[in-house]
Amino acid sequence: MLNQIYIRNFAIIEQLELDLKQGMSVMTGETGAGKSILVGALGLVLGDRADSDVVRHDAERAEICAYFDTEKLSHVQDWLKDHDLDSSDECVLRRIISAEGRSRGYINGSPAPLQLMKELGEMLVDIHGQHQNQSLLKADVQRHLLDDYAGNKNLATQVETIFQQWKATSQQLETLRQNAREKDARLELLRFHTKELEVLALGDKELQQLDTEQRRLANSDSLLQQCSAALEGLYENDQSSALSLINQHLTELEPLRQLEPQLGNICDMLADASIQIQEGCNELRHYIDRVELDPERLKQVEQRLSSIHDMARKHHVKAEALPELLNTFSDELQQLENVDITLDTLQQKIEQLSQTFIDTATKLSQKRGKAASKLAKQVTAIIKELGMPAGKFSIRLINSEATTPHRHGLESISFEVAANPGQPAKPLSKVASGGELSRISLAIEVLLCNNRQIPTLIFDEVDTGIGGAVAETVGRQLRNLGKSHQVLCVTHLPQVAALGHQHFQVSKQTSKESTQTNIIELSKNARQDEIARMLGGVEITTQTRAHAEEMINRAELA
């Protein structure tokens, strides 16, 4: 469950720290006070996208931290261990958004990408917003809700995976058939390209070797001249070569060793230098003897390089990629030459995938049918309590007329309702009013929550469009849900607020220089005042306060 949330410099919240308890917590306040800001902040720490607009004016960054108790959530602890993010029984999610729009996320102190925070957040908190009522009209949302209720996630994923395999194989088959229709022309072209690349026969390291040889042959005359000049200056000029000068001075210094012992090391080094020069000149002479002025070989190498680069330009590839291109052409040639065999193989694979799809999708359809009947009865029972005594909710599975697999199975899903006696059930989008849609949405959400392992449920003004006795029934539904889950409800209805186990009040303070939202937990007396305000408006009478006290006392007996 969510133990604590800390917010700093977010929207119009300067700094806020809330401690939350098990059960049903309600959050109330004047319109515009910022009741839904807390939900928005929590959404960001759970992985929602953000921009710099959420940072409080004149602040450098916004920060949100959420502290969760995961002691009894073994699947969450396993997930944290799998991602090397485990710590103690408390899990801390932290999100920082800078005024420049940069965002950083952390799980238990370790940097984490947004996708990981979202994945973990979906196991910890389920947020139901007031705008979700309209999303209930969408076919995709209806299908997801039914599959969630039925526990069809794995089976639905299998169906979609098989569909993707079938689609990819079908596209491959169509491409191959297209190639087969152009087979003769393509075969002739591939054979020609393959033949000329085989004749070229470029070796793996041949290009590098040819480049090296070309540079050496092209500069052989210059190499010969420079090396011969060096040999002359170092050795062969008897009068002024480096070797003769060293030997001459060495002969003059050698007798002085007896007079000055320190000259001994110098003489030894000069003697070594003489030997090194002689050995180096011997190697240089051997090199000169091997240097060839071979214009014919240079011509051959340059012609070979020209052929290679011409071929590369022809096929719009780098020269070193020509061997790989030959392999590509050879593979395609082999495939086309065996196209009939490949077509048969792909056709058989498609037939197998189609059958596998039908088998798996049929299982999904059967589970959807059973779940649809059960969910419809349960939703109908709840909406009758929520002020629709003649309402009847139904879920219709519409079989697809397509003869090919579909990513979502064999049918589409339609949520329908008959609001009045004697009327046929029609899709929600055609018959449900705003208030009716809110009640149906809330009923489905309550039922789905009982089928999920998510410990914390947040309802952000989902009771919009209802009131009176219906509002009290909604509150009791949420309070009952609080027996098995931690429920946080943002509400404007006193009937719902009175049923909370914990009550927070949201207020906004405005001055000439700033606007700030504060959230405080209310004591029992302060709670009576808040419920009375919600009941009576501007003037709170003794009778209104007594009514508020009665509502709270009755809730405690629920």
Contacts with 512 (C-beta within 8 Å, 6 or more apart), sequence order? none
pLDDT for 37 equals 85
Residue 513 CB: number of other CB atoms within 10 A? 5
Query: What pLDDT sits at residue 397?
Result: 95
pLDDT of residue 432: 63
pTM of the predicted model as reported, rounded to 2 decimal places: 0.62
Distance CA(191)–CA(197), nearest Å, equals 10
**Long-range contacts, stretch 530-535, CB < 8 angstroms, 24+ apart:** 530/28, 530/497, 530/503, 530/505, 531/494, 531/497, 531/498, 534/28, 534/492, 534/493, 534/494, 534/497, 535/494
Q: How many CB atoms lie within 10 A of CB 370?
A: 11
Closest listed residue to residue 415, CA positions, set 399, 400, 432, 438: 432
> Burial level of 488, CB count in 10 A (0-12/13-18/19+)?
buried
- Give the H or E element holding residue 312: helix 295-315
**List of domains in the chain:** 1-125+455-464+487-521 (3.40.50.300), 186-337 (no CATH)
CA distance 467 to 450: 24
Report how far residue 412's alpha carbon sits from residue 154's, in angstroms, rounded to the nearest whole number: 18
Strand order in the sheet with 61-69: 13-19, 2-10, 61-69, 90-98, 103-107, 110-111
Amino acid at 98: S
pLDDT in tens, 529-555: 899 988 876 678 888 889 998 998 888
pLDDT of residue 212: 83
The 3-state DSSP class for residue 405 equals coil
Strand 426-427 relative to strand 392-399, pairing: unpaired
Angle, alpha carbons 401-404-409 (nearest 5°): 75
pLDDT of residue 134: 65
Identify the pLDDT of residue 472.
Answer: 86
The low-confidence residues of the chain, meaning pLDDT below 70, are 130-134, 180, 182, 184, 219, 238-239, 291-294, 339, 432-435, 450-452, 465, 537-538, 558
pLDDT digits (tens, 9 = 90+) for 251-304: 888 888 777 788 888 888 888 888 888 888 888 787 777 766 667 777 888 888
Rounded CA separation 448/489 (Å): 17
How far are the Cα atoms of 153, 167, 221, 237, 358 from residue 408, in angstroms, in the given order? 11, 13, 76, 93, 12
